[in-house]
């Protein structure tokens, strides 16, 4: 039987980031099938939640159908109301901005910092100091008149955001901190696992993440009440499961036992996968150092990056090709890459949201390109990719 990797990839194709299935997945999923516990009830859901809470170091974890749902519920349990504002980096995948809109709140987009490409603490402070009014314990955006209630840092590409100054600002202005750690499971900020630094953290187990359940998510927190409310909201807000009494409008955001079974098996190997990702990053780093116009995403001295998605910047003048041309060049040799996201302050989907100056995010989008870095990427495949980028390799070799 062909694996997902083989089925998804024609011969010679080097995918961006595909699942690695080499542990107890078959065994645990078979256990679900053998016992008929395939749906949203079953021992693997509890086990996966407890394993993840232990791994991240939080008291509680609540599984969800995907990472976007985890963020949606995190915003609800943190008390974000319709018409509130939540500070979000412009340079991220769109899901957290959408989740903010699901609760009827609004994102406020701030810039990335140029050193490690994460949410800029200075940009947050500058927005608050110059564009907000702080009166009677309420922070209000002067331009929109809306109340600012939370900061939602996103640890992009496996690297943590600089959380200390973000937490300091949050505490000063009484803002909740909801971490989008969907891309950074296992990464550490000054020795602490991401997801356990703010008030509540969210993870994704989408197929391209470092571990996957096909699709899935998790919300983690030390706050017992928030965790209980998250469980309630993700399971249709059921007050009486016999008489079907529902206390409020809830959501069917449960993860299935089948998915959780896969999650348990994947989580058992997470540390090996992080090690593999770091080895891939270090090989890229070595091979691409000295290629004019190519630079990699730096890692902060205080960061334990999971190196989830290895990303370079292409300086078009020095490299003699821009990142779009490099993307096309690699694609023509069956190498899949991915540009950094369109910054959300430029997204048609969020054109009505308030944005600060996000020029660093725009510049990163213009030159950023993520390279293949599946856990199972072979040294030979990686050599092909770096050869094509450094233009040292005969491209004919790729076809062989």
Ligand X SMILES: Cc1ncc(COP(=O)(O)O)c(C=O)c1O
Q: Give me the DSSP letters along 147-211.
A: BEEEE--B-GGGPPP-HHHHHHHHHHTT-EEEEE-TT-TT-EETTEETTSSSSEEEEE--TTSSS
Binding piece for ligand X, criterion CB under 6 A, among 136-144, 177-185, 230-238, 249-257: 177-185
Q: How far is the CB of 202 from ligand X (least distance, A)?
A: 7
The closest alpha carbon to 159, from 271, 301, 339, belongs to 301
Buried b / exposed e across 187-213, counting CB within 10 Å, b at 16+?
Answer: bbbeeebbbbbbbbbbbbbbebbbbbb
Q: How far is the CB of 86 from ligand X (least distance, A)?
A: 14
Among 51, 88, 108, 154, binds ligand X (CB under 6 A): 154
- Applying CB under 6 A, does 180 fall inside the site for ligand X? yes
- Applying CB under 6 A, does 206 fall inside the site for ligand X? yes
- Applying CB under 6 A, does 305 fall inside the site for ligand X? no
Q: How far is the CB of 150 from ligand X (least distance, A)?
A: 15
The closest alpha carbon to 217, from 378, 31, 86, 61, belongs to 61
Report how far Cα 123 is from the mean position of its chain's Cα atoms.
Answer: 21
- Applying CB under 6 A, does 210 fall inside the site for ligand X? no
What is the 3-class SS of 81-135, one letter each residue? Answer: CCCCEEEEECCCCCHHHHHHHHCCCEEEEECECCCCCCECHHHHHHHHHHHEEEE
- Which lies closer to ligand X via its Cβ, residue 132 or residue 161? 161
Phi, psi of 47 (to 5 degrees): -65, -45
**Residue 271 contacts residue 119 (beta carbons within 8 Å):** no
Phi, psi of 240 (to 5 degrees): -130, 105
Among 92, 120, 213, 257, binds ligand X (CB under 6 A): 92
Binding piece for ligand X, criterion CB under 6 A, among 36-44, 91-99, 292-300, 342-350: 91-99
In DSSP terms, 354 is beta-bridged to 108
Provide the mask over 217-236, with x wherever binding to ligand X is found by CB under 6 A and - wherever it is not: x-------------------
* Distance in angstroms (rounded) separating the CA atoms of residues 330 and 392: 14
- Which lies closer to ligand X via its Cβ, residue 42 or residue 201? 201
Q: How far is the CB of 324 from ligand X (least distance, A)?
A: 22
DSSP 252: B
Q: How far is the CB of 355 from ligand X (least distance, A)?
A: 18
* Tokens representing residue 35 in the block: 């016992």
Q: How far is the CB of 154 from ligand X (least distance, A)?
A: 5
Among 15, 67, 153, 195, binds ligand X (CB under 6 A): 67
Binding piece for ligand X, criterion CB under 6 A, among 44-52, 88-96, 377-385, 390-398: 88-96
- Could you tell me whether strands 245-246 and 148-151 are parallel, antiparallel, or unpaired per DSSP bridges? unpaired
User: Of residues 244-303, which lie at the interface with ligand X (CB under 6 A)?
Assistant: none
The closest alpha carbon to 108, from 132, 82, 140, 86, belongs to 86
- Which lies closer to ligand X via its Cβ, residue 69 or residue 330? 69
Provide the mask over 37-66, with x wherever binding to ligand X is found by CB under 6 A and - wherever it is not: -----------------------------x
- Which lies closer to ligand X via its Cβ, residue 84 or residue 180? 180
- Applying CB under 6 A, does 182 fall inside the site for ligand X? yes
Among 40, 58, 68, 213, binds ligand X (CB under 6 A): 68
The residue to which tokens 């004019």 are assigned:
292
- Applying CB under 6 A, does 198 fall inside the site for ligand X? no
Binding residues for ligand X (CB under 6 A):
66-68, 92-93, 95-96, 154, 180, 182-183, 204, 206, 217
């Amino acid at each position: 039987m062909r694996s997902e990797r083989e089925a998804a990839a024609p011969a010679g194709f080097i995918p961006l980031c595909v699942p690695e299935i080499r542990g107890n997945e078959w065994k645990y999923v078979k256990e679900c099938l053998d016992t008929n516990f395939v749906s949203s009830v079953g021992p693997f859901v509890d086990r996966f939640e407890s394993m993840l809470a232990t791994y991240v170091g939080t008291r509680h974890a609540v599984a969800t159908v995907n990472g976007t749902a985890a963020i949606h519920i995190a915003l609800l349990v943190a008390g974000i109301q319709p018409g509130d504002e939540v500070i979000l980096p412009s340079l991220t995948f769109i899901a957290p901005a959408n989740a903010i809109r699901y609760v009827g709140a609004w994102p406020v987009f701030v810039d990335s910092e140029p050193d490690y490409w994460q949410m800029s603490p200075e940009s947050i402070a500058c927005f608050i100091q110059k564009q907000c009014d702080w009166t009677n314990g309420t922070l209000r955006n002067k331009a929109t008149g809306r109340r600012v209630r939370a900061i939602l840092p996103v640890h992009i590409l496996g690297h943590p955001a600089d959380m200390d100054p973000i937490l300091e600002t949050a505490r000063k202005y009484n803002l909740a901190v909801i971490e989008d750690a969907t891309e950074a499971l296992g990464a550490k900020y000054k020795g602490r696992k991401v997801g356990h630094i703010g008030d509540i953290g969210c993870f994704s187990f989408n197929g391209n993440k470092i571990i996957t359940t096909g699709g899935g998510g998790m919300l983690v927190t030390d706050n017992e009440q928030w965790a209980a409310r998250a469980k309630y909201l993700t399971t249709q807000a059921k007050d009486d499961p016999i008489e079907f009494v529902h206390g409020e409008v809830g959501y069917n955001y449960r993860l299935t036992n089948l998915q959780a079974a896969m999650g348990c098996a994947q989580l058992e190997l997470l540390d090996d996968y992080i090690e593999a990702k770091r080895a891939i990053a270090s090989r890229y780093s070595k091979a691409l150092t000295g290629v004019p116009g190519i630079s990699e995403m730096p890692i902060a001295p205080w960061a334990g990056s999971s190196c989830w998605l290895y990303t370079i910047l292409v300086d078009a003048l020095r490299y003699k090709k821009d990142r779009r041309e490099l993307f096309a060049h690699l694609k023509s040799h069956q190498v899949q890459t991915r540009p950094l996201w369109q910054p959300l302050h430029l997204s048609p989907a969020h054109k009505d949201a308030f944005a600060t100056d996000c020029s660093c995010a725009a510049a990163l989008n213009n030159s950023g390109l993520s390279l293949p870095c599946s856990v199972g990427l072979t040294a030979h495949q990686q050599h092909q990719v770096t050869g094509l980028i450094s233009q040292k390799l005969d491209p004919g070799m790729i076809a062989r």
